A and B are shown apart, each in its own frame.
Chain A
Amino acid sequence: MRSAKDAQGSRLKAQGRTAVAFSLQPGALSKTADLLFEIGTEELPAAYLPDLIEQLGAETRALLEAHHLPFRTVQSFGTPRRLVLIARGLAGTQRKPGEEVRGPSKQVAYDGAGKPTKALVGFLRAQSGALGQVKIVASEKGEYVYLVKPPTAIPTATILPALLPQLVGKLRAPKTMRWDASGVRFARPIRWMFASYNSRHIRFCLAGATLFNPKSDQFFDEAKIGVEIRLGIWSGATTRIGRPQALREVRVASIPAYFQTIERAGLLLDQVERQRRIQQLVTREARRIGGIVAPEMLSHGLMEEVTFLTESPVALTGTFDSKYLALPREVLLASMAKYQRVFAIEARGKLLPRFVAILEGPPRKPAAVRQIIERILNARLADSLMFWTEDRRHLPLEQMAAALSGVTFHERIGSMADKAERVHTLSAVLEKAWQLSREEQKDLRRACQLAKADLVSTLVKEFPTLQGVIGKYYARHSREPQEVAEAIEEHYLPIGDRLPKTLIGSALAVLDKYDTLASYFAQGIVPTGDQDPFGLRRAAQGIVEVGWKVHRPLPLERFFGARSSTDPFRTAPQEERAATGERIRRYILERLYTFEWPKPAPSRDIIEAVLASPCDDLVDAMDRIVSLKRLDGDPRLLKAAKVIERTCNILKPAEPRKREVDPARFQEPLEQRLWALYSSKKEEIERLATGKSYAEATRLFGEVFYQPLHEFFDRVMVNVPDESLQQNRLALMQAINTLYTDRIADLSKLTVLQH
């Protein structure tokens, strides 16, 4: 995002300048060399690193291109203590094409005596130009002064000291800090920098805003040199290597020497290689103790995190007390992955009381390190076991649910108990729409009451990501039906690509998300751009995904009807209420544009066409979209679309005042014929549409009306002076149009019509 914006910025600045072609002397570009730049830091957060590495590569490419410095490849790497950039085959000379910069008008630039004015002198000074380089160019707007800048050729080595600090300044992190008087901001303190071009050190200084003048490529504000220069962070001829407790400074003579130093220290610079190594280490250790890595460890993102917590990974295997295997699997995994960053091991689907830790470099006394990690893991698991035991004293889950009135959902919206009650009210909609059995109804209502109860448990306070999971275990403990227990866990889905598997879980997932959306929308809290602090976009997307998976009706209007009987809608003015309801419905339907459709995915215009028709049931709308997509390329779809387009065009300026067609008013046989076709096929098309045979309905509609409608338009005038005649013909057009568009889609939106 950022780099795109920057590129735009520099394009804007370039306006008013014209590039002048210049010819390169043969062989002038042949001298290239490699650039290495290492930013040495105190430990960067693992979560920031992937993005920082990506930015470093992208920003370098952009910067080099913007400065007319061709290169062969740019690669970027990172570890907790360094970000490294290597640009191969970087041109040895910056060749800037000449350019002409427009200045003031001739009238302003010269006084009556033909002498340069202050305006011209100022312009030349700002552009570092001379009077001899000025020419006058006549244009439509009058005569203007132009500065003709000759092409330049500057050695790359002299430009880099200004470019590299700019590069550092472009790197963004979620949180940045200052740490010394330089005023430089970065994710963590920068403690050294090493840069080498053509294996010659580049010396430069990274400093606060006062020293850096981004307008010119000049780095120092000369007036300030000597006063503030000591405040900057200087690049040097050394790097630092070793484990954090033994970091040592090493002089580096050349770029090959740099890579040698890194390699000899056992340091894996390349994050991809490092992750592969960790994967190997963990798998090998797991196999050695007769197991495999618990598959959830990968979805926890632990592999990636550990990759960015080490630069010289080694593995260490240990054991924990098997009595903790009594804890829920998810709790064990969270304790190990989240707090201890060690990998859990399983055999035949059951966890072993073992773990694999990834350390930074080989420890001198591995047995001692293992013992301590084991103790700490045991103490942590003891704590989890205590929470688990403590919570179960407060079961049944119903009793925990009673405490939800003390848990805030949102300050302006109310407590979690209020939410549970509203979701309970909403459940009536799905009971009806999904024709749930008495048993299912009972389970769903129960699940609504208990869904959030685990939020008051000590285990969820300790492991917030286990909300729902803990609820499932406690529901089982409270002898709730299995369906209720499952639904409690599943109602937080989708997460990643996991979707609810059970019917009750799907229902609860939809209801809870709908309530969340409606509650925030009612407060005017609506996602905008990339601002969506309450995850409303995800909630709406979740409704769509679950709806598609479960494939049962989701009547959005009835949802809102039920929701609006509760606060804050109950007391809201009717008009405002209706507007919010419509906004929510639209918001959910708009997610269809970003939904991951089964392949081949429908194009945007098909979705638009369906959404332009009445859409109450979300899932039905999705069915219509998929049916139309299947008709892609069928000539009958095009025929149907033409019928809709032509009727639509004639109706656009003025809809008929009444809908009824009066056959007694027909004058032309072609009118009669259309009406007869309409009357005879109407029921069949309606029946097909009601039966969700949308493709068939579309084919039939196209077949029946395409030809006769064309002939009608060829010979019959609709907008005739006789108003009642005109009204009757418009009504006929509308009848044909809405027979399809009221039920399936407004095909006039299809782009195929434009070809």
Chain B
Amino acid sequence: MQLQQLIRTLDTFWEREGCVIVQPYDMEMGAGTFHPSTFFGALGPKPSRVAYVQPSRRPTDGRYGENPLRMQRYYQYQVLLKPAPDDVQQRYLESLRACGLTLEDHDLRFVQDDWESPTLGAWGLGWEVWMDSLEVTQFTYFQQVGSLDLDPISCEITYGLERITMFAQGIADVYHLTYGPGATYGELHLPSEREGSAYNFEHADVELHQELFERYEKDAKRLLEADLLMPAYEQLLKCSHTFNLLDARGAISQSDRPRFILRIRTLAKGCAELYLERQHHEKR
């Protein structure tokens, strides 16, 4: 199964489960959790079912295209189910079967991993799903988002699309995967992976990004004041990615790190509160 077919298969599967299939958010972000459909979708009482692909940026994970499993930019397939159904583990396993995997042939394990995003003020309890010792999915019952307690509880399923395709195609190196007709993942992504790694680790302008962080943060605060939720949240996304980039450049010392994280988390909390306040008004 080609990677693009896998995406389509998951879309179809989760559509049948009642999910709205939304599109990737058009901004740089570290994970599908940052997509507004998850960040805001998990907040408040309103039920929500949504699924989407989210290209994810992890500047420090770049390996110049030389590691068959680690990349600075890759695809997550994200599902958010609120409230979490009782048989959510079974639904997830079904989705893997739909992708053409014969699960009985593998060693499948749910290994404790209490997921946390300190910048989003979000955490949950759950697992890494291991397939023959490779983590193919992150499975989390959210407990908090934007530093706020959640009720009802959402379940977040984050598939590593490349890794699952590797299983489906029996291929060991991500760059040799077939993405679509006549195109390998390497053809589409290897040059940008090499250049992206060089940029993240060597060439990104540290001073520029330090300044950008300050200005994005200031802007986010201003926009929150102005009651412009999505524009404020988008500035937060920019802050977050800028922070990750500075981190890859080695420009964030251990002592600065907690302060940077706290600054982003404060913005996240502001956005979460504003969102809930609006929900409250809408209900009235």
Contact = CB atoms under 8 A, between A and B. Distances in A.
A567 to B, nearest CB: 16
A179 B255 CA distance: 36
B49 to A, nearest CB: 16
B127 interface: yes
Contact of B105 (A45, A247, A368, A375): A368
Given A340-B133, A360-B107, A360-B108, A179 B153 contact: yes
Interface string B116-157: 000000001101000111100000010100000001110000
A42 B254 contact: no
Contacts of A368: 105-106, 132
Interface stretch (A211-219, A264-272, A284-292, A376-384): A376-384
A152 interface: no
Interface stretch (A6-14, A114-122, A238-246, A504-512): A238-246
Interface stretch (B19-27, B63-71, B187-195, B226-234): B63-71
A408 B112 contact: no
Contacts of A342: 133
A191 B68 contact: no
A369 B106 contact: yes
A406 B141 contact: no
Contacts of B253: 406-408
Nearest to B84: A179
Nearest to A408: B255
Given A406-B253, A406-B254, A363 B141 contact: no
Interface residues of B, number: 41
B111 interface: yes
A411 B254 CA distance: 10
Nearest to B150: A178
A47 interface: yes
A383 B67 contact: yes
Interface in B33-85: 63, 66-70, 83-84
Contacts of B258: 411
Of B106, B131, B258, most A-chain CB atoms within 10 Å: B106
Interface string A308-352: 010000000000000000000000000000001110000000000
Contact of B141 (A46, A189, A376): A189
B4 to A, nearest CB: 23
Contacts of B125: 175, 177, 187-188
A493 B213 CA distance: 41
A180 B86 contact: yes
A368 to B, nearest CB: 6
A86 to B, nearest CB: 26
B67 A382 contact: yes
A14 B93 CA distance: 51
Contacts of A382: 67
A425 B172 CA distance: 53
Contact of A375 (B93, B111, B131, B172): B172
Given A373-B132, A375-B172, A376-B132, A360 B104 contact: no
Contact of A179 (B127, B141, B167): B141
B110 interface: yes
Given A177-B143, A376-B133, A415-B255, A245 B63 contact: no
Given A43-B110, A360-B107, A180 B83 contact: yes
A375 B105 CA distance: 17
A177 B132 CA distance: 28
A372 interface: yes
Interface in B83-120: 83-84, 86, 89-90, 93, 103-112, 114
A244 B153 contact: no
Contacts of B86: 180, 191
A62 interface: no
Contacts of B104: 243, 245-246, 363-364
B254 A369 contact: no
Given A175-B114, A246-B103, A406-B254, A379 B143 contact: no
Given A357-B133, A365-B105, 15 more contacts: A42-B89, A43-B127, A177-B141, A177-B153, A178-B153, A180-B152, A243-B108, A244-B89, A309-B111, A369-B107, A372-B106, A372-B131, A372-B134, A379-B68, A386-B63
29 contacts: A80-B110, A177-B153, A178-B151, A179-B153, A180-B83, A180-B152, A181-B83, A181-B152, A188-B125, A191-B86, A243-B108, A244-B93, A244-B109, A244-B110, A246-B103, A246-B104, A340-B133, A341-B133, A342-B133, A359-B107, A363-B105, A364-B104, A364-B105, A369-B132, A375-B68, A376-B133, A383-B70, A386-B66, A406-B255
Among all A-B residue pairs, the 3 with the closest Cβ atoms:
A45-B112, A406-B253, A408-B255
Interface of A: 42-43, 45-47, 80, 175, 177-181, 187-189, 191, 243-247, 309, 340-342, 357, 359-360, 363-365, 368-369, 372-373, 375-377, 379, 382-383, 386, 406-408, 411, 415
Interface of B: 63, 66-70, 83-84, 86, 89-90, 93, 103-112, 114, 124-125, 127, 131-134, 141, 143, 151-153, 167, 172, 253-255, 258
